[in-house]
Amino acid sequence: MQNQETQRKPKLSQTATSLSGIRSNKRDSRDGNHSAKFIAVRDSRNRRVPGLYQRNGRFYAQLWVDRGYGKKAARRFALFTVDNVPVRTLQEAKEALEIKRNERREDSLPILGRKPIFGDYCNTYFEKAKVQRKRPGTVENERQTIARWRSHLGHLRVDKIATPMIASFVDKRLKGGAFGGHKLGPVSERTANLDLVVLRNVLKSAIDDGHLRDLPRIKMLEEPPSPKRQLLMPAEFDRLIASARQNCQKNGQQLADYLRFLAFGGAREQEALRIKWADVDFERERVTIGADQLAKNWESRTVEFNPQLAALLRELRRRRAPDSSWLFPSPQRGPRDEHARSFRESLKVARRAAGLEWVGFHDLRHYFCSMCVMAGIDFMTIAAWLGHKDGGILVGKVYGHLLDEHRQKAAKLVHFGISVVEAKRFVGTG
């Protein structure tokens, strides 16, 4: 009997051991699941911090918010520092929690729902009607810029793009580096600012679509002042026109006409190429620039005839090609009615022969503006002719010194000599 009892005892001990093992496994399983749950945070005195939770080492704020249909529900928000880095200490968590509570009071909490990846959202941006209305050249430039941003931010959600990430992109652009597999050299502050403008356009679109509430802080770089642009003088302009006629064998006369139109009307290069005879009103003595709605700002403007512009347009009308509706028809148009595409290569020939290598088409627009300023035309009228929307502020800023110099030179021409009456009186008293 004793032997049988001794044989039973090990069995009981084995059973107890297996049961304790099961309990241990259950406890371990419970602990493993518990680590993935939200745990209320306690301070150093073991007091619970209201609204603050922790999971997997990350801090979260739990707030009761309006769901939009009159009911409130609890939402949890991951807490980050001002640099968009997850908080690590209890003190940082408390400060971030107060920021979230303030955002709730101001109704500026992050929008519900998972936000799109930046690289994917860029495709949505280019499908927008307001983007497709931009000029093709502008859209192409934005595509090239966004391709660089994609290589840097394409893996992030739009709501996770933070200031340090943007700053690192700008620093890389200034120093030069690889973007999308292409090695690019250093760029100027102005070029980097243009990249920032394109990013801002995309993120503003994300705000309109409800993916963001606010833009990350984007600080534009300070650009060094542009070098003072050399102004074309009347004698140099005449020399350029003569060179165009003499040295451009195929289209010398048309190039000279085109350059004179830019100088006398203030049009931009592409605007002038797209002007039709229907845009010229000889009765009211004015020409409409941008009637095709392709001008800058998508608006047309009228330029009243000055004596030189009127004489040029009447001269062009006498030599007008009967089979074309354009002021500057393409020499290679054949049976099609097309305007000239470009005079750039011809201009290179003419300016080289004239010793004016620095002159470009836009310098003739500056020539128009400088002549108007020195003629005493008010800045607001000049701005309207140029298509500026600032009422003449830019004209005054860029060309105001010309008016001052012109007035100073005019003042030096005034001489106050002794008048005839005073001379007689002076002689009579002698």
DSSP letter string, 154-203:
TTSBGGG--HHHHHHHHHHHHH-EEETTEEE----HHHHHHHHHHHHHHH
Q: Counting beta carbons within 10 angstroms of the beta carbon of residue 150, is it exposed (0 to 12), middle (13 to 18) or buried (19 or more)?
A: middle
Average pLDDT over residues 407-416: 72
Q: Report the range of poorest mean pLDDT among 129-143, 163-177, 347-361, 400-414.
A: 400-414
- Confidence tier at 180 by pLDDT (50, 70, 90): confident
- Confidence tier at 292 by pLDDT (50, 70, 90): confident
Q: What class, spelled out in words, does domain 234-362 have in CATH?
A: mainly alpha
Q: Is the pLDDT of residue 202 over 60?
A: yes
Q: Is the pLDDT of residue 18 over 90?
A: no
**280-281 and 286-289: which strand pairing?**
antiparallel
Q: Given this model, what pLDDT does residue 336 score?
A: 85
CB 223 within 8 A of CB 192: no
- The reported pTM is 0.60
Query: In the structure encoding, which two tokens stand for residue 138, read together?
Result: 């502008």
Q: Is the pLDDT of residue 232 over 50?
A: yes
Q: Is the pLDDT of residue 408 over 50?
A: yes
Percentage of the chain exceeding pLDDT 70: 84
CB 365 within 8 A of CB 268: yes
Q: Is the pLDDT of residue 22 over 70?
A: no
- Confidence tier at 308 by pLDDT (50, 70, 90): very high
**48-55 and 58-66: which strand pairing?**
antiparallel
Which amino acid makes up residue 428?
Answer: G
Mean pLDDT of the chain: 84
Whole-angstrom Cα distance, residue 300 to residue 271? 10
CB 366 within 8 A of CB 394: no
Q: Report the range of poorest mean pLDDT among 224-228, 348-352, 413-417.
A: 413-417
- Measured CA to CA in angstroms, residue 373 lies from 269, 396, 398 at distances of 21, 9, 11
| CA dihedral for 304, 309, 310, 316, sign (positive or negative) | negative
- Here the contacts of 326-335 (C-beta below 8 Å, separation 24 or greater) are 326/274, 326/275, 326/276, 326/277, 327/261, 327/272, 327/275, 327/276, 327/277, 327/280, 328/254, 328/257, 328/258, 328/261, 328/272, 328/273, 328/275, 331/250, 331/251, 331/254
Percentage of the chain exceeding pLDDT 90: 51
Whole-angstrom Cα distance, residue 97 to residue 89? 12
Average pLDDT over residues 229-240: 90
Q: Is the pLDDT of residue 13 over 50?
A: no
Q: Given this model, what pLDDT does residue 406 score?
A: 67
Q: Is the pLDDT of residue 218 over 90?
A: no
